[in-house]
Amino acid sequence: MGVLIDFLLLTAEVVGYIIQSLVRWIKRPTEKRVTNEICLITGTASKKGLGRRFALELAQRGATLVLWDIDTDGNEKTAVQVRELGAKAYAYTCDVSQREDVYNTAERVRREVGDVTVLINNAGVVAGKPILQCSDELLERTMKTNCYAHFWTVKAFLPKMMELDHGHIVTIAGSLGLFATACVTDYCASKFAVVGFHEALSHQLKANRINGVKTTLVCPCLVDTGMFTGCRIRQELDGLLSPLKPDDCVKTAMKGILNNQPIICIPRVMYFAVVSKHLLPWDVQVLVHKFLGIDKCMHPFIRQREAKRHLVATGR
């Protein structure tokens, strides 16, 4: 009898959440304020990257920015732009692929700035080689930067968020964390892993009734940041799935984050793609990949990376 009652309650709650989601989709709720929140973003040095744009968006909303990157000069340039918007910015040189560097820098942040309440794990790298041509060192670098770094930053900052029952953890994963393609095995593996980590962490917080700490998984399709220069799908369909503009991507993501949206797929057609993946047989997925040109979309990217490495090796 108890199971039946629990099932009826479950059904009622499911219907309630569906109605709530529909209402939120029709009428967007008011964005939460991040004024004076301490927001840490990893991977903020790149001029074309998402990290710098997230920092500028949050700066416009009055947040205090903590910027982490291995590129000291580029990171400081981001800090300057943040300060020009009237926000506080603290730039730290940190290699997130190195565990002790993460923990030591986190301790400095707590001591010099305060307790981080918004954590955006954005830093990412890709080897740019097929798996059999990748050295073990390159594979380890990708996994440490794209995945292990999330473990370490969360372990460093989540305890205080849980104590305060206040905070937000944002994971920038990308579409290649939801479905894979050829020639970027290291990248896909790391992103699939971090999606699993994020989902497990979200369930853990819910199970422990830590309702004040929110989580958001951001999965944009290919973004024109320069990381995958040359990547393209079937030429005739290029216009339908062209790379996203970084500014548009971040603005869309920010709206979802500030509405405590659990998962954000950009563009919206990505939601359909995710559902289709779990419904369609494997052979059908392969056919769709071939039709769209996804199976070979990374080939131009790989060739460009190889050409650049050759030029560097020959000193040209």
pLDDT surpassing 90 at residue 2:
no
Which pLDDT score is estimated for 94? 98
Which pLDDT score is estimated for 144? 97
pLDDT surpassing 60 at residue 183:
yes
Across the range 108-133, mean pLDDT stands at 94
- Catalytic positions, written as ranges: 187
pLDDT 10s digits, 263-286: 999 988 888 888 888 888 988 888
pLDDT surpassing 80 at residue 91:
yes
The lowest-confidence range among 20-24, 166-170, 312-316 is: 312-316
pLDDT 10s digits, 10-43: 677 777 777 766 666 666 777 899 999 999 999 9
pLDDT surpassing 60 at residue 310:
no
Which pLDDT score is estimated for 87? 97
pLDDT surpassing 90 at residue 300:
no
d(CA 271, CA 52): 26
Cα angle value 280/281/285 (rounded, 5°): 75
Which pLDDT score is estimated for 290? 83
